[in-house]
Structure formats: structure tokens, C-alpha cells
């Protein structure tokens, strides 16, 4: 088995430890064909990358693409945040980006009553997995996301509904190797509904880039390895 690409890695631009170049070097050392630096987007109040800092990151990635040409494909990614019902901070101009990841995260300033919805749910109110999944998928559709990161992390989701949307929209569900947010049963359900999967390391240090071990074990257990798009069996 070979890992083709790791599209979910972080650096010191957000709350990770290494530089973009160190992530790329690690991926090249592992023999990956491609790697993305996919930093937290600006909607995250604590470590979202925005403004001039985002500009610096984008130009650093452009330089790395050139430097590593012919060795490894460097991709510019962004891990965006759901900010409300059907809303996200996916940039309108996506031209700088090769891959857009969308996930539900804490520490985001929510709009359109989503804050109240989340507040109620996190303090023991009635859980509404279908509504949550609808909010995330509507945001993913509007922003044309490529990947949903760690489905079910911090917020319960209706995985069957999510998988149906992903199949229809051509969006991948991530089996996140740092946060195993989907159970074996969730993954099986998603596959039954036609979803395809991508494994992401969600590395916050260069050493963890391409570390797919935990996700692979879970995917193996759920018997969906042939539906994971970024490994070669
Ligand atoms: Zn995330
Ligand atoms: Zn992440």
C-alpha cells in the first residue's frame, strides 16, 4: 500500500509547530506524490490565518511549488470553518487554492442564530444531527468544498444524509488520522450511501505529516480501503 497524498497539514502559521517547507520535506521523504499545507481559515478567532499573514503563507507556498517541482507536488489548501446554517468562511476567490477543506470547529464567530443552536446543543439541549449535517453540507455546496474534515467531531451529524450529499456533490469525507471522528459503523453507513473517503493526517508537526496509521486501521476495520481515494492498494 502506498500513500499518494496528504492534503491536511498545519504549520506555525496557525497553531502547528513546523514550517510549510518542513511539511513538504517530510512528505517528500515519505515518497508522497503531493502534499498540501491547509491552514485554518480566518473565521477561527484563535488561530485562523488571515490578512497579511495569509498573504505571506500563499507566497511561501508559491515559492515551494517552484522549488519542489519535479520532486513533489505542493498544494495550497485551506481548512475553512462552518460559520452558520449554510455559511462558511470559504473565500469567494478560490484561485489561490488547490484544495478547500470544510469542517465544524469551535472558536468561530457564528452567524444567523447558529451560535444559539450550538450553545443549546453543547449544554445538553436536544441533539439535532440532521440539522447539523444540513448546515455543514449547505455551506459545503455554497462554497464548493472538496473535503469535509473530521465529520462528527465536536458536533453530532447525520452521517447517512452527509454521505448522500457528498456523493451527489462529489465531496470527499475525511477519515482524520488525528481525530477518529467516525466510528466503524459511521464509515460503513457512509459507504452504503455512496460516499468516497480521503485520509488526512491533520498533522500539526512535520513528523506527523503522512501519518495515516490510525485512520488506515479504522478504514481497514470498516472494510472501505478500496473507497479511500488517496492510497494505492
Ligand atoms: Zn479541523
Ligand atoms: Zn486540521
Q: Which ligand is nearest to the CA of 107?
A: 1
Report field, pTM of the whole predicted structure over 0.95:
yes
Q: How far is the CA of 103 from the centre of ligand 1 (A)?
A: 6
448546515: which residue's cell? Answer: 135
pLDDT at 183 over 90: yes
The total number of structural domains in the chain stands at 1
| 3-state secondary structure at position 148 | strand
**CATH at 72:** 3.20.20.140
The set of residues, in sequence order, having a beta carbon less than 8 Å from that of 199 and lying 6+ positions away, is 3, 6, 174, 175, 176, 177, 212, 215, 216, 219, 228, 230, 231
Contacts of 95 (CB under 8 A, 6+ apart): none
Q: If you measure from the C-alpha of residue 127 to the centroid of ligand 2, how many angstroms do you get, rounded to a whole number?
A: 24
Query: What does the alpha-carbon distance between residue 139 and residue 136 come to, in Å, rounded to a whole number?
Result: 5
**73 alpha carbon – ligand 1 mean position (Å):** 22
What pLDDT was estimated at residue 225?
98
What secondary structure letter does DSSP report for 203?
B
What's the 149 CA to ligand 2 centre distance in angstroms? 7
Would you say residue 61 has pLDDT above 90?
Answer: yes
Distance CA 7, CA 27 (A): 11
Domain housing 42 = 2-232
Nearest to 229 by CA among 147, 113, 141: 147
φ/ψ of residue 81, rounded to 5:
-115, 140
Model confidence over 142-164: pLDDT tens digits?
999 999 999 999 999 999 999 99
Which-ligand-closest: CA of 8? 2
pLDDT in tens, 74-115: 999 999 999 999 999 999 999 999 999 999 999 998 888 888
Amino acid at each position: 500500500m502506498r500513500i499518494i497524498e496528504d492534503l491536511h497539514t498545519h504549520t506555525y502559521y496557525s497553531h502547528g509547530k513546523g514550517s510549510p517547507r518542513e511539511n513538504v520535506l517530510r512528505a517528500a521523504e515519505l515518497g508522497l506524490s503531493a502534499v498540501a499545507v491547509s491552514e485554518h481559515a480566518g473565521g477561527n478567532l484563535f488561530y485562523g490565518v488571515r490578512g497579511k499573514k495569509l498573504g505571506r503563507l500563499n507566497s511561501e507556498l508559491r515559492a515551494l511549488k517552484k522549488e519542489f517541482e519535479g520532486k513533489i507536488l505542493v498544494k495550497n489548501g485551506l481548512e475553512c470553518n462552518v460559520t452558520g446554517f449554510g455559511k462558511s468562511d470559504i473565500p469567494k476567490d478560490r484561485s489561490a487554492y488547490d484544495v478547500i477543506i470544510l469542517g465544524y470547529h469551535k472558536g468561530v464567530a457564528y452567524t444567523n442564530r447558529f451560535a444559539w443552536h450550538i450553545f443549546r446543543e453543547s449544554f445538553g439541549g436536544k441533539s439535532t444531527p440532521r440539522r447539523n449535517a444540513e448546515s455543514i453540507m449547505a455551506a459545503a455546496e455554497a462554497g464548493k468544498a472538496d473535503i469535509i474534515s473530521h465529520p462528527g467531531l465536536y458536533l453530532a451529524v447525520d452521517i447517512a444524509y452527509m454521505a448522500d450529499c457528498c456523493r451527489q456533490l462529489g465531496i470527499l469525507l475525511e477519515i482524520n488520522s488525528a481525530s477518529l471522528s467516525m466510528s466503524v459503523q459511521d464509515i460503513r453507513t457512509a459507504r452504503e450511501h455512496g460516499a468516497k473517503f480521503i485520509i488526512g493526517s491533520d498533522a500539526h508537526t512535520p513528523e506527523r505529516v503522512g501519518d495515516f496509521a490510525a485512520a488506515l486501521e479504522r478504514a481497514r476495520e470498516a472494510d472501505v480501503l478500496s473507497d479511500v481515494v488517496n492510497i494505492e492498494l
